Amino acid sequence: MTAAAMQARPVAPARPSADQVREILIVDDHPLMCDALALTLKISFGLKNVRTARSLGAAVEQIRMQGAPDAVILDLNLPDARGAEGIVTLRRQLPDVPITMISADLEGAMISTAMAAGAQGYISKSLSREALVDSLRRMWEGEHVTPEGYRPDQDGAGNDAKAALARRFSSLTPQQMKILRLICKGKANKEISYELSIAEATVKTHITAIMSKINARRRTQAVLLANSIRLFEAG
């Protein structure tokens, strides 16, 4: 078995059957990857409608306009989202939809973060077509699928804490997430106000709400909490 081979640990099924997955949303900014995935899914699962989005923002808007898909395949790094932000944001919109994180980054800490944030599985972009199809089918049947060699039980308590923190971050509105991202970049309220074209008083109101939702007392603590689950950065 190679590092790309997959292992699974069964959980309560997210869906009664993979056959009920009829509409997929692929969120990936690489056109060739999107096209290859879409073609593979159409052929392997007999799907007629595979939706695509090239950014997290586009995915959020598409879901708002077209409704929830039956499953999502989400790239780890997007033009407008890196790290756990994508899964945290989509979990807010799609609490019961299986979301698969796909990436060339197989670092254990990143896998733990994605799974704690609510991913149904985490798979490598280098998987063969057969392994990819098998992994997706198992996920859509309710399994949690992760790369071979990944050991989630090594840090059980830490993963539980990450999951609880990810749930708190998922309560943020899109605007609050934007503001938190800018805070993590070291932006002052005035700079955030200018960048988002909103009043500084509005920024302060949002920051108060952010602090309350994630249970932080200071901006530095908010940044540390975001960094602890790699909310905005994959590395």
Q: What is the pTM of this model?
A: 0.81
Q: Could you give the CA distance from residue 18 to residue 155 in angstroms, rounded to a whole number?
A: 30
159: which residues sit within 8 A by CB, 6+ positions away? Answer: 112, 115, 116, 152
pLDDT exceeds cutoff 60 at 165: yes
Q: Which amino acid is at 161?
A: A
Q: Looking at residue 153, what is its pLDDT?
A: 58
Q: Could you give the CA distance from residue 210 to residue 71 in angstroms, rounded to a whole number?
A: 29
Q: Could you give the CA distance from residue 90 to residue 97 in angstroms, rounded to a whole number?
A: 9
Q: What values do phi and psi take at 6, rounded to 5?
A: -115, 155
Q: Looking at residue 68, what is its pLDDT?
A: 94
Q: Give residue-wise pLDDT tens across range 62-79.
A: 999 999 999 999 999 899
